Amino acid sequence: MRPRTSRSRAAPKSPPGATGRPGRRAGHARVFATVPEPGHAEGIVIDGDTVITGTTGDSVAFSTGAKAPSVIFAFDRTSGQLRYTLPVEGEALDPDAPLNGISGLAVDAAGRLYAADIQGRILRFNLSRGNRRQEVYATIPDLPSCKHAPAEPNCSPTLDDRTPLPNGIVFDGSGNLCVTDSWQATIFRIPAGGGQAQVWFQSERIDGFFGANGIRVSPDETAMYVAVTRDRTETSWIFRLPLGAAPSAQDLVALATWAPRARELAPAGADGIAFGSSGRVYVVLGGDEEVVAIDVKTGSVQRFASPHLHNPASVAFDNANGRLLVTNHAFFATDPSLWTIVDMSIEDRALPLVRPNVP
């Protein structure tokens, strides 16, 4: 999640021979579904024949002055028609409450949905028809800034105190749920079965107004990839970390970076991440309103842009249909027609995400 005004860009030409779905060029985009109010879709996950996304209700307050409860929506994977809704319970909606909204999403082996509530909770939903219930799977601690509370056993390497803002979530092979905290420069790890989140990694290099964001485990399950939307210098990054017990700041390896440009204050705004079977990693650039495919071995970059992208946030492969589905966060957009999920044709395919057995 990161605010950014929306702008349109023309789609680039695909390289010779690049093909996505039959009859469509790679990178060709169109609207898959429009997300109902409160809109501003962010996280996305595909589960069987449904496409699931969550909304950011608080952004409505920028135009109306009133907070709206967040909602999770499930769409038919083939038609894009709305199948069911999950209202989010327990959000603080008073004017002085923190931002509210749903960011990252994940699914376990039993088909239960996990959602990052940016007010500091990880929610779990049973998706069984007729019994779709919500429970709190874990909580994210509010850490004091190490600058102001150096004696605290757990503190945040931020310059000032900020409330938690859980953003991206992903399972590792052991069933731990890993969570980026965009405001506390921390990646938390929640043990299989839930409970209190534990600090797994911290660094000033993932600090920023919207710091650590998108997160994915590498296909070989040896590394964690983390997107930093904007660090303290307004630079965007994709970092790689070894998937060990306690990586240190020295273990951070940069895969890609986007520095601030003279023509605009905001950088690219790296966010959602997905891995293709080709060996490329796909990154959503919310500020540049495009998706880039980075070859992990060579560093070469292919860019996919479209006028249909408006402050995009997250991406999911739909292998069955030869496409990427991209959420339009459109954070400040008050036009509901921009609150969409975009279908982008692609010649690549995803490797399976980790979906562990969780108590």
pLDDT of residue 17: 33
Tens digits of per-residue pLDDT, 110-152? 999 999 999 999 999 999 877 789 999 999 999 999 988 876 7
pLDDT of residue 58: 64
The domain tally of the chain equals 1
307 phi-psi bin (left φ>0, alpha ψ -120 to 50, beta other): alpha
Who wins on pLDDT, 215 or 154? 215
Q: Per-residue pLDDT averaged across 156-171, rounded?
A: 95
Who wins on pLDDT, 90 or 11? 90
| pLDDT band per the 50, 70, 90 thresholds, residue 45 | very high
304 lies in some domain: yes
Query: Contact, 163 vs 98, CB < 8 A?
Result: yes
| pLDDT band per the 50, 70, 90 thresholds, residue 11 | very low
240 lies in some domain: yes
Q: Per-residue pLDDT averaged across 38-49, rounded?
A: 96
Query: Contact, 105 vs 91, CB < 8 A?
Result: no
Q: What values do phi and psi take at 79, rounded to 5?
A: -90, -20
356 lies in some domain: no
| pTM score of the predicted model | 0.91
Beta strands 280-285 and 270-275 are: antiparallel
352 lies in some domain: no
Query: Contact, 288 vs 269, CB < 8 A?
Result: yes
The answer to whether residue 308 scores a pLDDT higher than 60 is yes
Long-range contacts of 82-85 (CB under 8 A, 24+ apart): 82/33, 82/36, 83/50, 84/132, 85/36
Report d(CA 325, CA 344) in Å as an integer.
6
Who wins on pLDDT, 182 or 4? 182
Q: What values do phi and psi take at 348, rounded to 5?
A: -100, 170
| pLDDT band per the 50, 70, 90 thresholds, residue 65 | low
Q: Per-residue pLDDT averaged across 234-258, rounded?
A: 93
pLDDT of residue 223: 96
Query: Contact, 216 vs 272, CB < 8 A?
Result: no
The answer to whether residue 10 scores a pLDDT higher than 50 is no
pLDDT of residue 351: 87
pLDDT of residue 14: 37
Query: Contact, 124 vs 134, CB < 8 A?
Result: yes
Beta strands 195-196 and 134-139 are: parallel
The answer to whether residue 64 scores a pLDDT higher than 70 is no
Query: Contact, 332 vs 3, CB < 8 A?
Result: yes
Average pLDDT, rounded, for the chain: 89
pLDDT of residue 245: 82
The answer to whether residue 88 scores a pLDDT higher than 70 is yes
The answer to whether residue 20 scores a pLDDT higher than 70 is no
Q: Per-residue pLDDT averaged across 340-350, rounded?
A: 95
Q: Which of 95-104, 123-132, 313-322, 328-337 has the highest mean pLDDT?
A: 313-322
Residue range(s) defining the domain that contains residue 102 = 29-345
Q: What values do phi and psi take at 349, rounded to 5?
A: -135, 155
12 lies in some domain: no
Nearest to 299 by CA among 222, 240, 230: 240
The answer to whether residue 59 scores a pLDDT higher than 80 is no
**At 274, which CATH number?**
2.120.10.30
pLDDT of residue 4: 42
Report d(CA 114, CA 192) in Å as an integer.
12
pLDDT of residue 15: 36
Tens digits of per-residue pLDDT, 257-299? 998 865 455 668 999 999 999 999 999 999 999 999 999 888 8
| pLDDT band per the 50, 70, 90 thresholds, residue 95 | confident
Query: Contact, 42 vs 52, CB < 8 A?
Result: no
Report d(CA 216, CA 242) in Å as an integer.
12
Query: Contact, 155 vs 145, CB < 8 A?
Result: yes
pLDDT of residue 132: 86
Q: Poorest-confidence range of 1-10, 87-96, 243-252, 330-339?
A: 1-10
| pLDDT band per the 50, 70, 90 thresholds, residue 228 | very high
53 lies in some domain: yes
Report d(CA 95, CA 58) in Å as an integer.
10
pLDDT of residue 8: 37
307 lies in some domain: yes
188 lies in some domain: yes
Beta strands 223-230 and 210-217 are: antiparallel
